[in-house]
Amino acid sequence: MTVPRKQVHLGAHFPGVNSTTVWTEPDSGSQIDFASFEHLARSAEDARLDFFFLAEGLRLREHKGEIFDLDVVGRPDTLPVLAALAAVTDRLGLVGTINTTFNEPWEVARQFATLDVLSGGRAAWNLVTSPDAFTGANFRRGGFLPYEQRYERAAELVAVARALWDSWDDDAVLGDREGGAFLRDVEHVGPHFQVRGTFPTPRGPQGHPVLFQAGDSGQGRDFAAATADVVFSMHSTFEDGRAFYRDVKDRLPALGRREDSLKILPATSVVLGDTAEDAAERARVIRRQQVSGPGAIAFLEQVWGVDLTAYDPDGPLPDVEPDVGNADITRGRVRHVKDPRPVVAAWRARAEAERLSIRDLVIAVTSRGGFVGTPTHVADEIDRYVQQDASDGFILVPHLTPHGLDDVLATVVPLLQERGSFRAEYAGPTLRDHLGLDRPAEGRAATAHLDQQPVG
Amino acid sequence: MTVSPRSTHLGLDLSDAGPHPEAWRTSGSEPHRLFDPERLRELVDTAQRATLDFVLFDDAFALHTSRNTTLRGRLDAALVSARLAPRSAGIGLVATVDTTHTEPFHVAKALQTIDHVSHGRAAWQVAWSTSPQVTAAFGRKQVQDEADAVAEADEAVDVVRKLWDSWEDDAEIRDVATGRFVDRDKIHRIDHEGVRFVVRGSSITPRSPQGQPPVVVRATSSPARAFAAHQADVVRIAVTDRADAAVQRAEIRAAAAAVGRDPDEIRVLADVLVVLGGTAAAARERLALLDALAGDARRPDGYAHVGTAAELAATVEDWTVTGAVDGFVLRPAALHTDVDGIADEVVPLLRAAGAFRDTYPGTTLRDTLGLARPASRYASAIA
Ligand SMILES: Cc1cc2nc3c(=O)[nH]c(=O)nc-3n(C[C@H](O)[C@H](O)[C@H](O)COP(=O)(O)O)c2cc1C
């Protein structure tokens, strides 16, 4: 008897606001029209993928004090898009990234309960925690949260949301004209929230929507281990992936959780070709589309902190020194480099040694890997990562809207199905079913249960 | 586009099982399907077959505090609208969204997105809250009185409308030669610094098909009437009779003109509770049954039509032709009974009389309502 294979989980990421989305191709479609979202979602469901995924950003990025105009700018609002997709798909999970700093528990719990009801149990919430004041300037309370408190607020927000979802019993909606089940009032008093009342929205088919987490610090990993069903990670190379996987899964036993109750899904991209050489050549072309000349200069400006538009992207690296005090040149994007001087020195050395232009260097240093090769090679690799615990699957990030995953879904997914690593049919109707996650028992929140009330 | 002066505008309230608190308990109500989106889709199909201007969903953050009903539970109205958008065409989708406890930034992009998804059929019914229950649910404010909550709603609409204008229509240029995806001179920070909100902007969402989805306001109090005259594209009025409706419409139009608006760009619709029956007596019996089920629960206030489809069609035509109103928001007492009656009996009579359209005049709700599409304020400031 063969040992059942560990199952691969796959999500489809709608390409969005970042430098990896290629918009200059004739077949790159609208980032806004619903038809684009519908195409990706329907094709993902036809291939039996676990879910469709939307990222979020709540302020337009700015560079040198102006809106950054070189990448895709603008996106629709996350939850209404997912609600609309619920109408044109039947099984596909619908994952929305919603920030925990700029939302209130009563409202966001209600929105996710609604999405779960409207989709028949397919809702998931990707919890992100960025608390920056630049984004906060769009909200009435402004940038009110110190960075250190981002996960404290997130944890309390989730605790309140769970209490609200649990305040309705599973069978509270009886459709019984005479009788009624029960719903409970919730009362929560904490450092970030004081919430009291009767939640107006029924419990969704999943009990709780599936919770994703995206955030990479130690605090983020602790929060994921304590809270999440899925981690959306950026550790997509084999060794890095394995290290991250162990690090997060090792946090689970102390919390009384089984390893398979938390799935780790890195973002990755796939470039296919008829031969390895074809695929490598396509990948090279795509990288150059992703990093335009002006885009390469803007990328360097983020590190240098000074205007570099006078430099030729096809020429050598700028000979000026970075401005150490100008870390805010780009806003609305996580800045990874604190002191630019060692970075600049290393890049100069590399460009010199490998004879790289500005654009070549940016292509080299922003390369995130991903899978490049024939469909068979890519299927082998995805399966290897999963069987050897470098991940539990992947969130596939295409570089084109909306057809960017068509080839992967048509060729790689069937190969994974053939080897028994990926489902040929959905096992159940809900996203929890697809991910093999338990459904939370009703009424598990340790919140005060006051005043039992009959419901319709 | 010219619309016959005899043509009326008709919206349909699809909240809950109907505005009567006991509607869900009468036969045929399918109460187990109250939260089933396919039930709503069937109702919207019916409304669309009747080419009604729009369907409308109420919402509040608390359970029906304003109405004494035994039915509990409600879904987020904006997401319900979004869920219905891809499976409908022609008909407007009006979602009620609060301003007292929400962020205008979130509200703006949600409505813009429904407008994108529906290709121009979204509208926003503005709600505000003075309820202690909702205040406690959010736990970050003091209870506000109506004047205060309405003043805040007025400023919130201001912020939202600015955000809707923050992208000019042609901001996305995809200029391959220069590598620019957008023309950033056509995307504007709103830099709103008002009494209650400081919001930088821009919206993250590009301008939607209608530019500005219509704003619907229930003019049910004196602060609300002033707010409606200032901000609303569609005003819902609660009336006692035709004369009352005519007076209210004239007052709203005058108040709008006084704040510099064109009154012809406002539609004033009267709310009417609809209880249909084959005969007037049968309709009265239906209402009596509902009221009896209600025990001490109150039936909804305001003007009610309790009678035949022909009588309702005559009333609609009469009030429209005499200019008392621009149309009605029909509130079927029990959705599962009265929606079919409206679509299959009332509307055909109105069409036959030349008092209602038999097709949609365009693709957007603004087209249907005969309202112009506004230009972005920032575009005109530069031109
Ligand atoms: C893979 C990944 C994807 C992310 N996607 C988003 C996103 O779509 N929107 C967002 O606001 N933040 C996003 N973030 C950033 C998170 O908000 C993150 O929580 C933030 O960086 C602060 O947490 P940390 O210090 O633990 O990383 C993402 C982070 C990761 C690792």
Nearest CA to ligand 1 atom 23: A215
Q: In testing the pocket of ligand 1, which one of A53, A147, A216 has its CB within 8 Å of the most ligand atoms?
A: A216
- CB < 8 Å to B187, chain A: 60, 67, 73
Query: Which CATH number does the domain housing residue B65 bear?
Result: 3.20.20.30
Of the listed ranges A118-132, A348-362, B25-39, the least confidently predicted one is: B25-39
Q: What pLDDT score was predicted for residue A456?
A: 34
B70: closest chain A residue by CA: A456
Determine the Cα–Cα distance for residues B200 and B212; give it in Å rounded to an integer.
19
Residues A212 and A283 in one domain: no
B12 φ, ψ to 5°? -130, 125
Indicate the top mutation candidate among A127, A130, A396 to test ligand 1's pocket, ranked by most ligand atoms within 8 A of CB: A130
Q: What is the mean pLDDT of chain B?
A: 93
A235 and A360 inside one domain? no
Q: Are residues A292 and A399 in the same domain?
A: no
Mutate to test the interface with A, among B116, B167, B180 (most CBs of A within 10 A): B116
Helix residue ranges per DSSP H, A71-193: 78-88, 105-118, 133-136, 150-165
The per-residue pLDDT for A173 is 62
Cα nearest neighbour of A18 on chain B: B181
Residue A267, beta-bridge partner list:
A395
Residue A403 lies in a domain: yes
**Of the residues A78, A129, A264, which should be mutated to test ligand 1's pocket, given the most ligand atoms within 8 Å of the CB?**
A129
> Which chain A residues are closer than 8 Å to B33 by Cβ?
175
Q: How far is CA B164 from CA A146, B104, B202, in A?
A: 30, 11, 9
Q: Which residue, chain included where needed, has tokens 């879910």?
A: A51
Which residue of B lies nearest to A88 if distances are taken between CA atoms? B86
pLDDT tens digit sequence for B108-158: 999 999 999 999 999 999 999 999 999 999 999 999 999 999 999 999 999
Cα–Cα dist B287/B285, whole Å: 5
What is the nearest CA distance from A90 to chain B, expressed in angstroms? 12
Q: Over chain A, what is the mean pLDDT?
A: 92
Within a domain: residue A262? yes
The answer to whether residue A443 is domain-embedded is: no
DSSP B15-71: -BTBSSTTGGGSTT--GGGTT-HHHHHHHHHHHHHTT-SEEEE---SSSSTTS--S-
The whole-angstrom distance between A123's CA and the closest CA on chain B is 12
Helices (H), A27-144: 34-46, 78-88, 105-118, 133-136
Looking at ligand 1, which atom is closest to the CA of residue A221?
26
Q: CA nearest A220: which of A157, A127, A144, A143?
A: A127
Strands (E), chain B: 9-13, 54-57, 92-98, 122-127, 172-175, 180-182, 192-193, 198-199, 215-218, 234-237, 267-276, 304-307, 327-332
Mean pLDDT of A201-206: 93
Note whether residue A447 is domain-resident.
no
Ligand 1 surroundings by CB, under 6 angstroms: A 55-57, 97, 99, 128-130, 214-217, 219-220, 232-234, 267, 334
pLDDT at position A182 is 59
Q: Are A125 and A112 in contact, with CB atoms under 8 Å apart?
A: yes
Q: How confident is the model at residue A174 (pLDDT cuts 50, 70, 90)?
A: low
Q: Assess if residue B291 is contained within a domain.
A: yes
What region does B151 belong to: left with phi over 0, alpha with psi -120 to 50, or beta? Answer: alpha
Residue B83: which of A74, A86, A193 has the nearest Cβ?
A: A86
Per the model's pLDDT, the better-predicted residue between B93 and A174 turns out to be B93
Q: How far apart are CA A106 and CA A112, in angstroms?
A: 10
* Half-sphere exposure for A319 (CA within 13 Å, toward CB): 2
Alpha-carbon distances, residue A350 vs A141, A337, A360, B36 (angstroms):
45, 18, 11, 60
Q: Do residues A259 and A243 both lie within one domain?
A: yes
In a domain, B163, yes or no: yes
Ligand 1 atom closest to A218 (CA): 26
For atom 18 of ligand 1, which residue has the closest CA?
Answer: A215
Q: Tell which atom from ligand 1 comes closest to the C-alpha of A130.
A: 17
A191 inside domain: yes
Question: A174 and A83, same structural domain?
Answer: yes
Q: Does any domain span residue A307?
A: yes
Contact A71, B181 (CB under 8 A): yes
> Are A133 and A238 members of one domain?
yes
Q: What pLDDT sits at residue A2? A: 64
Q: Count chain A–chain B contacts defined by CB atoms under 8 A.
A: 215
The domain in which residue A46 lies consists of 7-272+373-433
Consecutive sets of 10 residues in chain B, 383 residues long: mean pLDDT of each? 71 90 78 88 98 96 62 90 98 98 98 98 98 95 97 98 98 95 97 96 98 97 97 98 98 98 98 97 93 74 94 98 97 94 98 96 97 93 53
Q: Is residue A308 part of a domain?
A: yes
Q: CATH no. for residue A262?
A: 3.20.20.30
Band the pLDDT of A335: cuts 50, 70, 90.
low
The distance from CA A439 to its chain's CA centroid, rounded to whole angstroms, is 22
Query: Any chain B CB within 8 A of the CB of A52?
Result: no
Domain range for B97? 7-367
In angstroms, rounded to a whole number, what is the distance separating the alpha carbons of residues A46 and A410? 10
Grade residue A178 by pLDDT with cuts at 50, 70 and 90: very low
Q: Which residues pair with B304 in a beta bridge?
A: B273
Cα-based distances in Å from B228 to B259, B270, B296, B337, B376 = 11, 14, 33, 32, 21
Q: Averaged over A281-306, what is the pLDDT?
A: 95
Measured CA distances, A116 to A358, A386, A444 (Å): 48, 29, 18
Q: CA–CA distance from B120 to each of A47, A81, A212 (Å)?
A: 31, 15, 32
Instruction: Please tell me whether residues A201 and A258 are part of one structural domain.
Output: yes
Inter-chain touch B79–A34, beta carbons under 8 Å = no
Q: With an 8 Å Cβ cutoff, is A422 touching chain B?
A: no
A81 touches chain B (CB under 8 A): yes
**A160 and A81 part of one domain:** yes
pLDDT, tens digit, 9 for 90 and up, residues A58-81: 999 999 999 999 999 999 999 999
- Interface predicted TM-score (ipTM) of this complex, two decimals: 0.96
Residue A183, strand partner residues: A168, A453
| Within a domain: B374 | no
Looking at residue B65, what is its pLDDT?
Answer: 46
The residue among A121 and A142 whose pLDDT is bigger is A121
Residues A96 and A212 in one domain: yes
Q: CB distance from A23 to chain B under 8 Å?
A: yes
Within-domain flag for B232: yes
Is residue A452 pLDDT above 50, yes or no? no
Q: How many CA atoms lie within 13 A of A298 on its CB side?
A: 22
B378 in any annotated domain: no
Q: What is the CA radius of gyration of chain A?
A: 23
A447 pLDDT more than 60:
no
Contact criterion met (CB < 8 Å) for A453 and B72:
yes
Which residue is closest in CA terms to ligand 1's atom 3?
Answer: A214
CA distance B231 to chain A (A): 21
Cross-chain residue pair A72–B181, CB shorter than 8 Å:
yes
Instruction: Please report the atom of ligand 1 found closest to the CA of residue A219.
Output: 26
What distance in Å separates the CA atoms of residue A57 and residue A59, rounded to the nearest whole number?
Answer: 6
- Clarify whether residues A293 and A257 are in a common domain: no
Phi-psi region of A251 (alpha: psi -120 to 50; beta: other; left: phi over 0): alpha
Chain-chain contact of B110 with A79 (C-beta, under 8 angstroms):
yes
The pLDDT value recorded for residue A443 is: 58
Work out the minimum CA distance from A411 to partner chain B, whole angstroms: 29
Residue A440 lies in a domain: no
How remote is the CA of residue A221 from the centroid of ligand 1, in Å?
Answer: 12
Query: Chain B interface, mutation test: which of A111, A115, A118, most B Cβ atoms within 10 Å?
Result: A118
Q: Count of alpha carbons within 13 Å of A115, Cβ hemisphere only?
A: 27
Question: Which of A364, A396, A425 represents a domain boundary (last residue)?
Answer: A364
Helix (H, G, I), strand (E, B) or coil at B274: strand
In angstroms, the CA B305 to CA B311 distance is: 8
Q: What is the total count of domains within chain A?
A: 2
Tokens 């960075």 correspond to what residue? A147
- Tell me which chain A residues have a C-beta less than 8 angstroms from the C-beta of B198: 137, 140, 142
Nearest Cα residue to A129 out of A247, A13, A212: A212
Answer yes or no: is A217 a known binding residue: yes
Q: Is position A311 annotated in a ligand binding site?
A: no
Cα dist. A91→A43, A78, A119, A120, B272 in Å?
12, 19, 8, 8, 40
Atom 13 of ligand 1, nearest CA residue: A128
One domain for residues A399 and A283: no
Total domain count, chain B: 1
Is B372 inside any structural domain? no
**Under a CB-based contact definition with an 8 Å cutoff, are residues B333 and B312 in contact?**
no
Spell out which residues of chain A touch residue B88, defining contact as CB-CB under 8 Å: none
Interface residue of B20, B27, B72 to substitute, partner A, most A CBs within 10 Å = B72
Could you give the CA distance from residue A155 to residue B193 in angstroms, rounded to a whole number? 32
Distance to chain B for A201, nearest Cα, Å: 5
Least confident window among A124-138, A329-343, B93-107, B361-375: A329-343
Q: Is residue B293 part of a domain?
A: yes
Q: Which residue has the higher pLDDT, A161 or B34?
A: A161
Of A304, A330, A364, at which residue does a domain stop? A364
Phi and psi torsions of A386, nearest 5°? -75, -45
Among A317, A334, A364, give the residue marking a domain's end: A364
Determine whether the annotation assigns residue B58 to a binding site. no
Query: Judged by CB atoms within 8 Å, which residues 265-304 of A form the interface with B?
Result: 292-295
Give nearest CA residue, ligand 1 atom 27: A215
Chain B, 139-198: which have a CB under 8 Å from a chain A CB? 139-140, 167, 171-172, 174, 176, 178-184, 187, 196-198
Query: Ligand 1 centre from A41 Cα, in Å?
Result: 23
Pairwise CB contact (< 8 Å): A75 & B204: yes
Q: Across the interface, do B34 and A176 touch by the CB < 8 Å criterion?
A: no
Residues A350 and A396 in one domain: no
Taking CA atoms, B299 is separated from B23, B294, B341, in Å, by 10, 8, 20
Q: In what helix (H) or strand (E) does residue B345 lie, and over which residues does it extend? A: none
Nearest to A455 among B73, B113, B182 (CB): B73
Nearest CA in chain A to B175: A24
What's the DSSP call for residue A118?
Answer: H
B65 annotated ligand-binding residue: no
Place A441 in a pLDDT band, splitting at 50, 70 and 90: confident
Residues 6+ apart with CB under 8 A from B238: B218, B220, B270, B271, B301, B302, B303
CA distances from A414 to A271, A407, B1 (A): 16, 11, 53
- State the pLDDT at residue A332: 76
Q: Do B37 and A86 touch (CB under 8 A)?
A: yes
